[in-house]
Amino acid sequence: MNVPDHPEEPLDSWLYADERPDPTPPDRGRCRVRRAHARTALSPSGLEGFDWVLNPYHGCAHGCAYCYAPSVLGEDMEAWGRAVEARQNMPTVLSRELRRKERGVVGISSVTDPYQPAERRYQITRYCLERLARHDWPVCVLTKSDLVVRDTDVLGTISEVEVGFTITTTDEHQRRLMEPGAPPVARRLAAMRMLSDIDIPTYAFIGPIYPTASLNELREMVRRVHEAGARYVLVDRLNLKRGVWLSLLKALGPDPVLLSTARRRLFLEEARDVFYPRAIRAVEDEAMSLGLAVSRA
């Protein structure tokens, strides 16, 4: 399947809340999606386990309150999640690069979600996967979306592939506050089970651990990803990059109890140097009790 360089569609499109897999709160407004052109597809990776990273989109409609991609990219945290660029020519650029760059593990993605809502329309991630499958490059996908199951036909043809799902909570109330544009975690777990059942390796990224999470909830998350077929777990703490705390303040504002818990654990008597070692240890202990490999991101 080939992606046209100039599809017959408006230069700009608008993704309204009722088109999202899980609508964002009204005050977030709508996410503008526009077509863009990429100069490169594969970027050298600084992430352990990846040789290259591929980001089919710039920006992300999931609007996660803890996202530090804006800080990494030097962008406005307040505007993040309101606009997305669909890099429509990336599959074509990727085809050229696969013929001349050294074969290595490709991580999809590092500063965006490859299966955010825009992917339903533009299918850039799918087209890129087709190119990677044709050259049989190793691929590791990380997403918060069950949309990835659409591409099992392509993923199943790649000899070295795995799909990771970010699993951050079992509490849908907290998920709606912290990840307003992302699908519910239950759908992610169902997708993980589906992929595992057809022998596409999966893993769980429990990260970042919410500063509002209970130790019992963390143990429950480990049990649920184990039941869903995850082969291993990565765990990470919250990274307080520039603008993240202000974003959390806004996201947790409707729930003063959660906001108070987050503030206490991050800054006061339960500072993150106390809470996070305890939380990560709870994940590790539960994983080990189930015979599930676990490592820190």
pLDDT number for residue 75: 79
**Tens-place pLDDT, residues 238-265:** 989 889 999 999 999 999 999 999 999 9
Looking at the domain assignment, is residue 21 inside a domain?
yes
Give yes or no for residue 46 having a pLDDT over 90. no
Looking at the domain assignment, is residue 2 inside a domain?
no
Helix axis angle for 272-289 and 256-267, nearest 10°, is 100
Long-range CB contact pairs, 12-15, < 8 A, 24+:
13/121, 15/61, 15/84, 15/117, 15/118
**Tens-place pLDDT, residues 172-190:** 999 999 999 999 999 999 9
Looking at the domain assignment, is residue 204 inside a domain?
yes
Alpha-carbon distance of 35 to 7, in angstroms, equals 10
Helix residue ranges per DSSP H, the chain:
69-73, 90-100, 118-122, 124-135, 152-155, 172-178, 185-197, 215-227, 244-252, 256-267, 272-289
pLDDT number for residue 23: 39
Q: Residue 81: which pLDDT band, with cuts at 50, 70 and 90?
A: confident
pLDDT number for residue 290: 98
Looking at the domain assignment, is residue 147 inside a domain?
yes
Looking at the domain assignment, is residue 3 inside a domain?
no
Looking at the domain assignment, is residue 163 inside a domain?
yes
Alpha-carbon distance of 164 to 283, in angstroms, equals 17
Domain hosting residue 33, numbered range: 12-296
Q: Residue 80: which pLDDT band, with cuts at 50, 70 and 90?
A: confident
Q: Residue 70: which pLDDT band, with cuts at 50, 70 and 90?
A: confident
- The torsion region of residue 108 among left (phi > 0), alpha (psi -120 to 50) and beta comes to beta
Q: Residue 79: which pLDDT band, with cuts at 50, 70 and 90?
A: confident
> Which residues touch 75 (CB under 8 Å, ≥6 apart)?
69
What average pLDDT does the segment 61-76 reach? 87
Mean of pLDDT over the chain: 89
Q: What is the CATH number of the domain that holds 210?
A: 3.20.20.70
**Tens-place pLDDT, residues 226-242:** 999 999 999 999 989 88
User: Which runs of E-coded beta strand occur in 29-175?
Assistant: 31-36, 43-44, 52-53, 57-58, 83-87, 106-108, 139-143, 161-166
Looking at the domain assignment, is residue 5 inside a domain?
no
pLDDT number for residue 18: 30
pLDDT number for residue 105: 98
**Tens-place pLDDT, residues 104-132:** 999 999 999 999 999 999 999 999 999 99
pLDDT number for residue 47: 82
Domain count, the chain: 1
What average pLDDT does the segment 212-238 reach? 97
Rounded to two decimals, what is the model's pTM?
A: 0.88
pLDDT number for residue 16: 27
What average pLDDT does the segment 56-80 reach? 87
Looking at the domain assignment, is residue 56 inside a domain?
yes
